[in-house]
Structure 1
Amino acid sequence: MVASGHHEALTDAFYRSLEFGTGGLRGIMGPGSNRMNRYTLGMATQGLCNYLIQSFPGQEIKVAIAHDSRNNSAEFAQIAAGIFSANGIIVYLFEALRPTPELSFTIRELGCQSGCVITASHNPKEYNGYKVYWNDGAQVVAPHDKNIIIEVNKITSVGEVKFEADPSKIISIGQDLDARYFARARQLSIDPAAIRRQHDLKIVYTPIHGSGITLVPGLLREFGFTNVSIVEAQATPDGNFPTVQSPNPEEKSAMQLALDQAQAQDADIVLATDPDADRVGVGVKNDKGEWVLLNGNQTAALLTYYLLSARHRAGQTTPKDFIVYTIVTSEILGDIARAHNVKSYRTLTGFKHIAGLIRDLEGVETYIGGGEESYGFLIGDFVRDKDAVSACALIAEMAAVAKDQGRTLYQEMVQMYAQYGLYVEDLISLTKKASAAPKKSRK
C-alpha cells in the first residue's frame, strides 16, 4: 500500500482498532487494525474466551460456530474454532455454511454457553463480521456485552492470542442439527390442511448467493409445498455476490432476478433471504398484475395478522399470548394484537431486546411472534434471533391460506389495512463510508 501510494487507504486501515461493539465485530476485510482479518478476529475471540472462563469456572464450556457465504467466512470460522479449542473450550463447528438462526437454535439445543457466527449480514461484499451469542441463543446483552468488550480491550497484542488449535475439542456438526431444526419449525404450521389443498402454490425463492439455500427449500418441502422454483443464477453461495450490488432484500435491485422469474412463471409469491438468512424479502402481485415488494413493516404486520387470526380460528389462542415489536416498527402490529385481545410489548431497536423479553417472560407468558421494520421476524421461541427460514415457510403458508379463500397475499394485505387502518411508510437507505483518521483543524 505504501509502495502504491495509497496513503489514505493505509491510514484508514491502521489509524484505530476495529471496535468490538455490543454485538461483536463488523468491518471491511483487509490488512490493518481497523479491518476484519485473522488478527482482529483472533483478539476478539481470545477476549471472549477469557470472559467465558471467568463466567463459568470449573465447568466444561461449549460454544457453537456457524458462517455464511462471504469471502473468508469459512476460514474465519476455522480460526475462531482453533482459538476456542486452544483455550480448552469444546467447539461445535458447522461443516459448511448455515443460516444465523440455526446457530441460535444450536446453542440452546446443545447446551452451549456461547457461540458466534461469521457474517456481515446484508452488507456489501467487502465486509465481514463476527456476531456473539450467549447461552440463551440470543445476541449478548448487558452485562455480558460490556464485560466482553472489557476483556477484548485487554488484549493488546496478537501474541496473547492462542492460535494453536486442539483438534480433539472441535466437533463437526451439520445434518443432524438441520433435522432437529426442521422438526421444531414444522410445529409452527397452523393450517396444514390449507397447504395440502394449495401444495402447488407457485413460489419463487432466491438465497441471493447466501446460506438460505441450505435450509429454506428443505423447510418449504417439509411444510408440504411442492412447486418451489429457485433463482438458479443466485442459488450458488458466492461471497462476491456477482448478480447484485448489495445482497440486501430491502433493495429492489437485489430482488429483480426473482421478480423477473416470477413474472415469467406467473408465480404466486417471491421469497428471498439475505446472506445469513435472518432477513426475509417478499414480492407479491398487485391487483394490476404488477409485481411489487413488501417493506419490512408490511411483512411484519401481515405475519402478525396471520398468526393471531389463524391461531384464533384453530382454537390455539391463550390468555398468556403476546407479540413483540420494536420502537422503529409500525404501530399497526400493536393494533392487530389489541383487536385479538393479545398482549403486545415494544422494545428498543434490535432483536436482542426481543429475545431478552422472551427470556424474561419464559414460563409466565407465551411468545407468538415478533418483528422489526428491518425485514426481521421471529415465530416461536426455539430460536432467539430473527429467523428468515421459518418466516419464509409461514409466509408461504399465509399465501396458501389466502389462495384457499380466493385471495392473493396482496389482497390479504389490503383487507388488513381496511380492518385496522392504512399505514404508509417509506424507506430511505443511506450508505456512509468510513472516514479516515480525523484531520487537525486549522485555527
Structure 2
Amino acid sequence: MIYIDPKILERLNKWLTPTFDQETQHTIKEMIAHDPEGLEDSFYKNLEFGTGGMRGVMGVGDNRINKYTLGKNTQGISNYLKKQFPNTQTKVAIAYDCRHNSKELARVVAEVFSANGIKVFLFSELRATPELSFAVKHLNCQCGIVLTASHNPPEYNGYKVYWEDGGQLVPPQDEEIISEINSLQYSDINFKADASNISIIDTEVDEAFAKASVLNGSFQTSQKAKDNLKIVFTSLHGTSITMIPKVLEMAGYKNVQIVADQAIPDGDFPTVASPNPEEPAALKMALELAEKTAADIVIGTDPDCDRLGVAVRSHEGKMVILSGNQAMAVMTYFLLEQWQKKNKLNGKQFVASTIVSTPLIQKIAEKFGVQYMEGLTGFKWIAKMVKDHPELEFVGGGEESFGYMVGDFVRDKDAVTATLLACEIAAQQKTAGGSVYAYLQKIYEENGHYKEHLISIVKKGKKGAEEISEIMKNLRNDPFQKIGGSKVVRIEDYSNNKGYNLIEGTSEALNIPLSNVLIYYTEDGSKIAARPSGTEPKIKFYVSVTSEDEAQLDTKIKTIISDLNMG
C-alpha cells in the first residue's frame, strides 16, 4: 500500500470533490496509484507569489499552475478590486505568451473577471509582456494580467499581476491580495463567464505601443548610421517577434537579419535547451548567423520579451556576449550622456538598479550628477520608485538579469525599447569610428574596472527548497570572516533589514522591504550576495569584484568561488 502524508491526503481529497472537473479528479487518482512523489510535490504547499508574480509547473494540485489555482487568484483579485474601487466600472487588461496552455488559461482568467462584473480587455493573440504593462495605462485599467513563465523551462507557466500605474504588485497591494486569495475556497470561484464584459483588443494597442517605443528609444541617430548597422535578431520562439521587428523598421533600421528557425512562437522552444538570453547557448544560432552576415550586433529576447541578451564585436572583431551588468552600464551611460547633451540634467533625475547588481551604476550616476536608487531584485521595485518620487524624472534602470527599462512609459523591464536603444548606441558608435565594446571600455576607464559572475544552483521540489533554506541559514549563523583573501567588513541581511559594520561593531537599519537576501562586502571592494530565486527553484550567488587592473578581475572571481566552495 502506498503511504501518503496525512497533510497531503487532506489537501488532495478536496480536489476529489465535485468542485473539480472529472479530468482533474482522474489525473489525481492516477497519480495516487502510479506517481506518489509527483503527488507530494503537487500538493505539499500552495503555489506562492514571488518577485515576478506566480510561476510554477503546469498540472493538477495546489502547487501547480492550472485553471483552479489561477481561478482562485483571479477571484481574489476581483474581490479586492471591488473593495479598492467601489462604484467604479473596473477594467483589466490580459495578455499571454507562447507557452503551452497560455491562451486557454488567459481565457479562463478573463471569464472569471467577467463573471464578477469586471470589464476585460483580452489580447487576440500572444503579446510581449511590456505591451501589457503599457496597455494597463493606455486603456485606463485598474489591473493587468499576463500569462507567462518568462524564461523558465517548457513545463512552466505563470501569472504576473500589474496595478493601475502599469507596474507589478508591490506592498501593500500584494499582501492584501494574497490575504484575499487565501481567504477563499476553490468553490468560491465564479467561472460563469459574462461575454458582454470581454472585449478582444488587437492592433490599436500595438500601434500605440510601437510608436511610444520608437519615441522613447530613439536618440537622433542619422539614417546613414542606421543603414550602416548590421543587426541579427532572435526571438527564441517567443512573443518578441510580434513587436521588435516592427519597432526596428519604424525607427529606420532596415538591415535586420532574423533567425528564421527561432522566429515561430513555440512553447517547446525546440532549438534551445533554455530560452533564456542569460545562457550563452541560447544565442548560438544568432551568433552563427552574425558570422555569416558580418553583423555588428546580436540581440536575443526571452519568451515574454522583457529580457534581452546583447552580443557585440570586440577589439579583435570577435562576437562577445555582454553580461546583464555590462549592457545596463552601457545603456545607462548613453542615456545620461544624451540627457546631458540636451541640458536636461539638473539634479532632479534618477537612475535605478538592484542590490545584487553591479556597483558601477551608482558610479555612473555620480559622474553625471543624478540620483541613484537601489531596490530589491525585480522591476516592480523600480516601478515603485517611479511612483513614489513624482518630483524626480526617471531616466532608466536595470538589473543584472538582462533587463532594462527606458523611461517610465512602460513600468517593467522592456526588451522592445531596450533593443532599439542598444541599436541606437551601436549605430552611433560605429559611425563615430568606435564600437559598443570600445564604449564599454571607456566607461570602465572613467569609473573603475568591474566584473560580475553569477552562480545558479538548481534545487528542485520540496527537498530542494529545504536545502536552499539550510544554505541561507548557514550563511547567516556561521558567516565568512574572509572571502577571496580579503577581510569581510560589512554584512547586510535583508531578512531583518540590518547592516552590520564588522570593523566598528555597529549596525543600522536598511530602508528596503524585507527579503531573503544576504550580502557580504570585503575590504578590497568585492561584493558577494546570496539569494534564493523568487521565480525558479534555484539559489543564486552574485559575485562582483573591482580593481584598477583589469587583469586581476578574473583571478579575484576564481579565488572567491574557490573560497565559498560554490562550484
Q: TM above 0.5, one fold?
A: yes
Match of 1:239 in 2: 267
2:233–2:257 contact (8 Å) kept in structure 1: yes
Paired letter, 2:295: A
Paired letter, 1:203: I
Q: How many Å separate the matches in 2 of 1:139 and 1:271? A: 25
Of residues 224, 234, 250, the one that matches 2:252 is 224
Q: How many Å separate the matches in 2 of 1:151 and 1:186? A: 39
1:21–1:149 contact (8 Å) kept in structure 2: no
Following superposition of structure 1 onto structure 2, how do residues 181-330 of structure 1 map, counting pairs within 5 Å?
Answer: 181-330=209-358
Q: How many Å separate the matches in 2 of 1:23 and 1:409? A: 30
Shift of 1:287: 1.8
1:33 aligns with 2:62: yes
2:142–2:163 contact (8 Å) kept in structure 1: yes
Of residues 138, 144, 156, the one that matches 2:173 is 144
1:175 aligns with 2:189: no
Deviation string for 1:337-366 (max 9, x for gaps)?
Answer: 11111222112222111111101112x111
Shift of 1:437: 11
Deviation string for 1:75-96 (max 9, x for gaps)?
Answer: 1110000000000000011111
Paired letter, 1:232: A
2:226–2:252 contact (8 Å) kept in structure 1: no
Paired letter, 1:19: E
Match of 2:124 in 1: 95
Match of 2:491 in 1: none
Q: How many Å separate the matches in 2 of 1:3 and 1:326? A: 44
2:218–2:420 contact (8 Å) kept in structure 1: no
Deviation string for 1:377-402 (max 9, x for gaps)?
Answer: 10011111111110000000000010
Q: How many Å separate the matches in 1 of 2:379 and 2:298? A: 24
1:127/1:292 CA distance change after superposition, 3 Å = same
Match of 1:160 in 2: 188
Match of 1:111 in 2: 140
Following superposition of structure 1 onto structure 2, how do residues 327-406 of structure 1 map, counting pairs within 5 Å?
Answer: 327-362=355-390, 364-406=391-433
Larger Rg: 2
1:55 aligns with 2:84: yes
Q: How many Å separate the matches in 2 of 1:11 and 1:329? A: 36
Deviation string for 1:316-342 (max 9, x for gaps)?
Answer: 434322111111111111111111112
2:227–2:255 contact (8 Å) kept in structure 1: yes
Q: How many Å separate the matches in 1 of 2:318 and 2:221? A: 29
Q: How many Å separate the matches in 1 of 2:139 and 2:32? A: 50
- SS across alignment from 1:311: helix
1:437/1:296 CA distance change after superposition, 3 Å = closer
1:190–1:310 contact (8 Å) kept in structure 2: no
Paired letter, 1:84: F
Deviation string for 1:176-198 (max 9, x for gaps)?
Answer: 11111122222224532434433
Where structure 1 has 5 or more consecutive residues not aligned to the other structure, the ranges are: none
Q: How many Å separate the matches in 2 of 1:437 and 1:10? A: 16
Match of 2:114 in 1: 85
Q: How many Å separate the matches in 1 of 2:360 and 2:205? A: 36
- SS across alignment from 1:13: helix
Shift of 1:300: 0.4
- SS across alignment from 1:188: helix
Deviation string for 1:99-140 (max 9, x for gaps)?
Answer: 111111111111111111001111111100001111111111
Shift of 1:432: 2.1
Shift of 1:259: 0.8
1:327–1:349 contact (8 Å) kept in structure 2: yes
Q: CA RMSD in A?
A: 1.7
Shift of 1:419: 1.6
2:298–2:312 contact (8 Å) kept in structure 1: yes
Where structure 2 has 5 or more consecutive residues not aligned to the other structure, the ranges are: 1-29, 467-567
Q: How many Å separate the matches in 2 of 1:167 and 1:228? A: 41
- Which range moves more in the overlay, 127-136 or 190-199? 190-199
TM-score by length of 1: 0.95
Paired letter, 2:282: A
1:120 aligns with 2:152: no
TM-score by length of 2: 0.75
Match of 2:101 in 1: 72
- SS across alignment from 1:111: coil
1:296–1:373 contact (8 Å) kept in structure 2: yes
Q: How many Å separate the matches in 2 of 1:361 and 1:121? A: 29
Paired letter, 1:206: T
Of residues 413, 423, 431, the one that matches 2:458 is 431
Of residues 437, 441, 458, the one that matches 1:410 is 437
Shift of 1:173: 1.0
Q: How many Å separate the matches in 1 of 2:422 and 2:446? A: 20
Q: How many Å separate the matches in 2 of 1:2 and 1:294? A: 45
Q: How many Å separate the matches in 1 of 2:243 and 2:162? A: 21
1:282–1:293 contact (8 Å) kept in structure 2: yes
1:26/1:75 CA distance change after superposition, 3 Å = same
Paired letter, 1:102: E
Q: How many residues are matched? A: 437
- Which range moves more in the overlay, 56-65 or 414-423? 414-423
Following superposition of structure 1 onto structure 2, how do residues 13-24 of structure 1 map, counting pairs within 5 Å?
Answer: 13-21=42-50, 23-24=52-53
1:83–1:163 contact (8 Å) kept in structure 2: yes
Identity of aligned residues (%): 47
- SS across alignment from 1:36: coil
Shift of 1:51: 0.8
Shift of 1:436: 6.0
The structure with the greater share of residues assigned to strand is: 2
